[in-house]
Chains A and B, each alone.
Chain A
Amino acid sequence: MAAPPRHATMLSISNGDKPAQAQPQTQQTTLPQSPGLRVPSNRKTIYDRHLNRSRNAESSRASFAFLFGEMVTYAQRRVTGIQDLEKRLNEQGYPLGLRLLDLLFYRSTSTSSSALSSSSTSSSPPNRPLRIITLLHLIHGPLWRLLFGRAADALEHSVSPDTPNEYMITDNDPLVNTYISVPREMSMLNCAAFVAGIIEGVCDGCGFETKVSAHNQPTDLWPSRTVFLVRFGDAVMEREKVLERSGVK
């Protein structure tokens, strides 16, 4: 998590000519400017653009499907089992969640009439949530809308008295699983573990220590229905009690 991809790509730009120098001279003349990462001719990289520029932009579903498919294939190499694979997918999503949180707040504060205000968190000011319910509403509504263009389908609290720290977010048809058919021998696997990683990143970014996992809960109507089980740590539950007593919202 310490070395974010942005830093890595910048490094690859500056180091791009290093291996080329080791090559014979002929190589350098044939490939004069291919330093691994393509930089636009006007030097305007994605980092020079305004963050709100892509606010309402949507990416192609097919491109995403192929990209995500390759991410799953990549994660599948050298794994020992299904849990290991899910852990890898989770780790791919985690840094994304940390960053999405910042983007979400940046966009919600920089514009007066934002998509956030029309959501379920309309009562809360656009700052970081302190309470569990506010955080979960943020994930269920604005985060889901940012990622998938719609809110999640359900948000539930565990009914069991033994596990008051468990919450469930349900998505009837997760976008990441649209084109994926898991083989029968891996039926426990749910590739939405990637999304679980994103949720975990968002929660951790807010200071809520969490473990999130994705589980298949198919119904006849929704064969790829997925439940994200959010388990908050003991410290979070303790703090929640203190905040509740002092009336913090």
Chain B
Amino acid sequence: MPSTDRGVFSLIIINKAGGLIYQREFQAGLHKLSTNDYLVLAGTFHGVHAITRSITPKIPSVQPPSPATSSPSTTAPAASSYSYPNPGVPVTGLDYLETDKFRLTCFQTLTGTKFLLFTDPLTGNVDTIVQKIYELYADFVMKNPFYQIEMPVRCEAFDRHLGAWLRGRA
């Protein structure tokens, strides 16, 4: 089954400061970048992500008719009268990026760590894959006493379980 076999191309984890802490390819024959280029890619993506988050458009909030707004002098509404379309949902920034060759899914944890998953555009259930990777990260990286927070991930158990799970999926 080639279509499911080449589901996940590679994974990149970026810490909250924009540094690359994990990079791994799951397919043979992918175009390789140098270590430095991966660091640049991580930093660039971190910046782009921050930009996409801040350019989220705001719409003027509907104000109930009151005597203050009826006065003609306040034509330009104050900045506070703009709000996000759905205030209950936090602004996330770039979620995914799709080309005809690959799909890049970005998942940001509450603490600001970003998981970048490169998959085949036809792969379904990418959210489930990302959630499982996050779970494995929480288990085998964050519970490891030898892992220093925000530093590159060198956890053999994480590599092993990640590889085994993705292979089991394929």
Chain B contact residue count (CB 8 A cutoff):
13
Contact with B along A88-132 (1 / 0, CB 8 A): 000000000000000000000000000000000000000000000
Stretch with Cβ within 8 A of A (4 or more), from B13-21, B90-98, B137-145 = B137-145
Q: Any chain B CB within 8 A of the CB of A164?
A: no
B97 to chain A, nearest CB (A): 32
Beta-carbon contact of B146 and A179 below 8 Å: no
B51 within 8 A of A: no
Residues in B with CB closer than 8 Å to A248 are: none
Q: How far is the CB of B168 from chain A (nearest CB, A)?
A: 15
B37: Cβ under 8 A from any A Cβ: no
* A66-B160 contact given A181-B155, A183-B154, CB 8 Å threshold: no
Contact A183 B146 (CB under 8 A): yes
Contact of A69 among B143, B155, B156, B157 (CB under 8 A): B143
- Compute how far the CA of A223 lies from the CA of B158 in the bound complex, rounded to whole angstroms: 12
Alpha-carbon distance A72/B144, docked complex (angstroms): 9
Interface of A is mostly: helix
Inter-chain contact A66/B154, CB cutoff 8 Å: no
Chain A 170-205: CB-based contact to B (< 8 A → 1; otherwise 0): 000000000111111010000100000000000000
Knowing A72-B145, A76-B145, the reply to whether A179 touches B139 (Cβ < 8 A) is yes
How distant is the Cα of A70 from the Cα of B147 in the complex, in angstroms? 12
Residues of B within 8 A of A72 (CB): 145-146
Is A235 part of the contact surface with B, judged by Cβ < 8 Å? Answer: no
B160 A180 Cβ-Cβ under 8 A: no
Output the least CB separation between A184 and chain B (Å): 8
* Residue in B140, B155, B160 whose beta carbon sits within 8 Å of that of A223 in the complex: B160
Instruction: Give the CA-CA distance A147 to B84 in the complex, in Å.
Output: 52
With CB as the reference atom, state the residue of chain B lying closest to A75. Answer: B145
> Are A66 and B146 in contact (CB-based, < 8 A)?
no
Query: Which residues on the B side are within 8 Å of A76 (C-beta)?
Result: 145
Chain A residues whose CB sits within 8 angstroms of the CB of B147 once the complex forms: 181
Structural contact, A180 and B139, CB atoms closer than 8 A: no
Q: Which A residues are in CB contact (< 8 Å) with B158?
A: 181
Q: Is the CB of B139 within 8 A of A181?
A: no
Name which residue of chain A comes closest to B143, CB basis. Answer: A179
Cβ contact within 8 Å between A179 and B154: no
Q: B77 to chain A: closest CB distance in Å? A: 45
Residue A146 CB within 8 A of the other chain? no
A73 interface residue, CB < 8 Å from B?
yes
For the complex, is A65 an interface residue (Cβ under 8 Å from B)?
yes
User: Interface readout for A58-70 with B: 1 if CB under 8 Å, 0 if not?
Assistant: 0000100110111
Q: For residue A177, which residue of chain B has the nearest CB?
A: B157
Q: Given that A179-B157, A181-B155, A181-B157 are contacting pairs, would A62 and B145 also be in contact in the complex, using a CB cutoff of 8 Å? A: no
Bound-complex Cα distance A68 to B139 (A): 13
B146 to chain A, nearest CB (A): 5
Residue of A nearest to B147 (CB): A181
**Chain B 116-155: CB-based contact to A (< 8 A → 1; otherwise 0):** 0000000000000000000000011001111100000011
B144, A179: Cβ atoms closer than 8 Å: yes
**What 0/1 readout, one digit per residue, does chain A (207-249) give for beta carbons within 8 Å of chain B?**
0000000000000000110000000000000000000000000
Q: Which 4 A-B pairs have the closest CB atoms?
A: A179-B143, A72-B145, A181-B155, A69-B145
Report B's interface with A, CB cutoff 8 A: 139-140, 143-147, 154-158, 160
13 pairs, A vs B, C-beta closer than 8 Å: A65-B139, A65-B143, A66-B143, A179-B140, A180-B143, A180-B144, A180-B145, A180-B146, A181-B146, A181-B156, A182-B146, A182-B156, A186-B146
- A-B contacts besides A179-B143, A179-B144, A181-B154, 7 pairs, CB < 8 Å: A69-B145, A180-B145, A181-B155, A181-B158, A182-B156, A191-B145, A223-B157
